[in-house]
Structure 1
Amino acid sequence: MNDAPALSDPFLCGCEIKPEMGALISVDAALRRALALVKPVAQVERLPLERAHGRVLGEAVRSGVSLPLFDSSAMDGYAVRLADLAGEGPWRLRVSGRVAAGDTDSGPLPVGAVLRIFTGAAIPPGCDAVVIQELARLEGDTVEIQRRPRPNENIRRAGEDLVLGSEFLPVGCRIGPRVAALLAAAGCSEVVVRRRTRVAFFSTGSELRAPGTPLAPGQIWNANRYHLQGSLDLPWVETIDMGAVPDQPDRLREALEQASRDADLVVTTGGVSVGDEDHMPAVLNAAGGKIHVMKVAMKPGKPLIIGLLGSALYIGLPGNPVSAFVAWYVIGARIAEALAGIRKARPPRCVVRADFDRIRNPGRCEFLPARLGSYDEDGTRNVEITASAVSHRVALLAQADGLLLIPSETHHIQRGDMLEFLPFSDG
């Protein structure tokens, strides 16, 4: 069976072939070249926590408190002093009071007594264990305890989660729901975040029209504009949507130069192949830019340009909507995340089992839109493909659950082979 190679770098696809293969460059090499060009945005701003969801931390966060803030009960039960449980049990002790979460002063525990306590309540002075209510029997104002608890049993000790002064979130961390909860629990009302990454994008092609517009023969509706709008609808991105530009070198150059002045990253679709109307390589050079990657050993998505124009990075995606989507998802999105300074950025991955047989020509890493099937007896998800030719199948892409990664050197996929799968998260 053909097992996918192990991943050693969070950015890379794991499909390294020879760094150069004729005019093609491997996916891994293309990513490395692109990421070497990246200078993360340096400007930062301070935001209230409620406005920072989804943003990227611009400085590390250190804890100004210990968490938990104080010793507290982990369960509903009875706070006890172990010294009062002398000899052999069971022990019968008087319930001298109660303490609930938010009570500010329960006072010390009297000798030979217990306190009724509830989850989250501060541990009264002198108590060193909590007996859960299921292991105690209450009779009037007396409780019977059958088993001696261990020291600190059912007590959350101050500082066991966060230590005062410790760095608990690094630069580049995205503020998702879990991180936001941690910041709030640590009392952080404001955070320093990187400014949004500015991404300008436009589609190239004289044949493109807006959806809903009547089409003349040979014209098509512009799908790539809406793919990029959706892909870039992120809290850490500021988009500059420049629409569509016809296949006229002067107008393409004007649009490209304007975009490079305004944005950190410029993304175009179309015009990057070798046809007479594929103007973007020459336009980038004429504008003073430099191409660092051109033609990648991936399928779909081989016509792909990565370069620099002034201080802006440039990504020229293919015009075919499926190819453009795959090239952006695998390579473009990684570049945008690196520009934003996002730490440990990569698409989610899982291992699946092929539920099909397929012969293929090696030489290019392949990303196939695929559907997840049932689980096998080992708990591994099966995966299915519905067509071998996918670069023009926009409907097939929309129906897929993710991209199946076929390593470049693979000749034959047999039913039962283990492969990597990049699941979509946007439905």
Structure 2
Amino acid sequence: MQILRSSFADSIAAMRLDRAQARIAETYDVKVGTETVALAIAVSRVLAEDVTAPISLPAADNSAIDGFALRFDDLRVDGPSILPLHGRTPAGPSPDAALPPGCAGRIFTGAVLPSGADTVVMQEDCAVIDGKLHIPQGIFRGANRRLAGEDLSHGKLALPAGRRLMPPDLALLAALGFDSIAVRKRLRVAIFSTGNEIATPPHPLRRGQVYDANRALLCGLLQRLQIDVVDGGILPDEAEATKAALRTAAGNADLVITSGGVSAGEEDHVRAAIESIGRLEFWRVAIKPGHPVTLGVMDGTPLLGLPGNPVAAMVTFWAIGRPLLDRLAGATSVPSLRLSVQCGFHHLKKSGLREYVRVQIKPDGIAYVYPKKGTGILTSLTEGDALLELTEELTSIRAGDFAPCIPLLSLYG
């Protein structure tokens, strides 16, 4: 029996992943305005403007420990020192009480150093005898002193525009005195699955059907990025219905994402719908899994078509979708963490193809291929540890070789 092939598919060379990412950067720009939100709800929002420090952190020299403040120049260099005690400086608001020369003063963690003091001796390292402080030899100038502005100086850049705010960023902003911050408005993204073979839980499955996992996957990924999700449901394998649904969604969203329906089969209608209404940026990227990923524009709204298999949908969402979402949201794309690991397996691949191999990393630090290799194997994402990244130039990897891997947790935003 002759296998029919798509002459159109054969005529289009797959685009390199780095070129597809560059095309996104060249073509798309921010689609949302700005708003001010309370710091308490700003996690994962995109900073709209550079933030410069309105104060220094810390604001003044202060003590890092409970101990005694003194002038370093009052210490002997040839043996222990004895200094009379003068004053007490607790943490918190207090008037500046200058430390007289030749004296030491009691001080507590976080307290501002009294004028004249430049060094703090830990209370465990000295002794108070008859109202005098006995200090051992060997203390260095500036010991246990936190310098004003050593964390961040007044007027310096604290956080750049485009940063997706993480909990430590919120802590820094709070320490600088902010209780609200200007961020980009949330993107609105419509998602669809496609295909007569999938059903929405908990409806009973008919023969030949499977439950739709991809909308749950995409919804979770988008929500972690503080994106408003419009669930469009499942599109049937019908060309006109697909076209109508995508066009309606494009008029009400900043981005439309589909899964399935982007290959060259007779029942794959997403790419054809894009071409009939808008324009195709690219179709087929030299990436495995996820080769048929599609990007286009419909009525001015970008439409990203992901493959139907969940693993391919996950990989292409991260490799193609995330850079696109960052551009639309005004966020600065941050490369995913890559760690070098030793491989415990042999693997062959095609030249010119960027391949991501799901691996488990054993306690000995060696990476092994997840035993079930299909791109529909969801447990490879729930039980796997990382994606081993094999670049276009490689054609093989052998046990003992080192390669970069991307922890799966870093793919989720």
TM-score scaled by length of structure 1: 0.88
8 Å CA contact 1:41, 1:195 repeated in 2: no
Q: For 2:154 and 2:279, how far apart are their aligned partners in 1? A: 49
**Cross-structure match for 1:364:** 353
Please list every run of at least 4 consecutive aligned residues from structure 1 whose deviation after the TM superposition is greater than 6 angstroms.
none
**Cross-structure match for 1:395:** 379
| Counterpart pick for 1:291 among 277, 280, 298 | 280
**Cross-structure match for 1:171:** 161
For residue 25 of structure 1, give the secondary structure of its aligned residue in structure 2: coil
More displaced, 160-169 or 65-74? 160-169
**Cross-structure match for 2:115:** 125
| Counterpart pick for 2:247 among 254, 257, 262 | 257
1:176 positional shift: 0.9
For residue 113 of structure 2, give the secondary structure of its aligned residue in structure 1: coil
**Cross-structure match for 1:221:** 211
More displaced, 231-240 or 87-96? 87-96
8 Å CA contact 1:236, 1:340 repeated in 2: no
What is the correspondence of 1:328-367 to structure 2 with a 5 Å cutoff?
Answer: 328-367=317-356
1:387 positional shift: 4.1
**Cross-structure match for 1:417:** 401
Amino acid at match of 1:359: L
**Cross-structure match for 1:321:** 310
Q: For 1:320 and 1:82, how far apart are their aligned partners in 2? A: 68
Unaligned runs of 5+ in 1: 1-19, 376-380
1:35 positional shift: 2.5
Q: For 1:327 and 1:201, how far apart are their aligned partners in 2? A: 15
Amino acid at match of 2:170: A
Amino acid at match of 1:423: P
State the Cα deviation string for residues 188-227 of structure 1 (Å, max 9, x = none).
2221101112211111112221122211112221111111
8 Å CA contact 1:195, 1:236 repeated in 2: no
8 Å CA contact 1:369, 1:390 repeated in 2: no
Q: For 1:62 and 1:395, how far apart are their aligned partners in 2? A: 45
**Cross-structure match for 2:369:** 385
2:42 is aligned with 1:52: yes
For residue 275 of structure 2, give the secondary structure of its aligned residue in structure 1: helix
1:39 positional shift: 0.7
8 Å CA contact 2:199, 2:212 repeated in 1: yes
More displaced, 400-409 or 164-173? 400-409
2:95 is aligned with 1:95: no
Q: For 2:16 and 2:169, how far apart are their aligned partners in 1? A: 35
Amino acid at match of 2:324: I
8 Å CA contact 2:24, 2:323 repeated in 1: no
Q: For 1:270 and 1:311, how far apart are their aligned partners in 2? A: 22
Q: For 1:389 and 1:88, how far apart are their aligned partners in 2? A: 71
State the Cα deviation string for residues 254-296 of structure 1 (Å, max 9, x = none).
2111221122211001111111111112211222x11011011
8 Å CA contact 1:209, 1:220 repeated in 2: yes
1:81 positional shift: 2.6
CA 1:420/1:148 → structure 2, altered by over 3 Å: closer, same or farther? closer
CA 1:394/1:161 → structure 2, altered by over 3 Å: closer, same or farther? closer
| Counterpart pick for 2:19 among 13, 29, 32 | 29
Amino acid at match of 2:280: I
**Coordinate RMSD, CA, aligned:** 2.2
CA 1:292/1:108 → structure 2, altered by over 3 Å: closer, same or farther? same
CA 1:86/1:174 → structure 2, altered by over 3 Å: closer, same or farther? same
2:184 is aligned with 1:194: yes
8 Å CA contact 2:32, 2:187 repeated in 1: no
1:103 positional shift: 4.4
**Cross-structure match for 2:291:** 302
8 Å CA contact 1:137, 1:143 repeated in 2: yes
Amino acid at match of 1:404: L
Amino acid at match of 1:392: G
For residue 233 of structure 1, give the secondary structure of its aligned residue in structure 2: helix
**Cross-structure match for 1:73:** 63
**Cross-structure match for 1:248:** 238
Q: For 1:51 and 1:156, how far apart are their aligned partners in 2? A: 31
8 Å CA contact 1:338, 1:345 repeated in 2: no
For residue 243 of structure 1, give the secondary structure of its aligned residue in structure 2: strand
Q: For 1:202 and 1:257, how far apart are their aligned partners in 2? A: 12
More displaced, 309-318 or 85-94? 85-94
Q: For 1:83 and 1:320, how far apart are their aligned partners in 2? A: 71
**Cross-structure match for 2:301:** 312
Amino acid at match of 1:161: D
For residue 130 of structure 1, give the secondary structure of its aligned residue in structure 2: strand
**Cross-structure match for 1:7:** none
Sequence identity (%): 36
| Counterpart pick for 1:116 among 103, 106, 110 | 106
Unaligned runs of 5+ in 2: 1-9
8 Å CA contact 1:129, 1:152 repeated in 2: yes
Q: For 2:267 and 2:294, how far apart are their aligned partners in 1? A: 16
Amino acid at match of 2:308: G
2:394 is aligned with 1:405: no
**Cross-structure match for 2:126:** 136
**Cross-structure match for 2:6:** none
Q: For 1:29 and 1:228, how far apart are their aligned partners in 2? A: 24
| Counterpart pick for 2:270 among 251, 272, 280 | 280
CA 1:401/1:31 → structure 2, altered by over 3 Å: closer, same or farther? same
8 Å CA contact 2:32, 2:186 repeated in 1: no
8 Å CA contact 1:223, 1:321 repeated in 2: yes
1:147 positional shift: 2.3
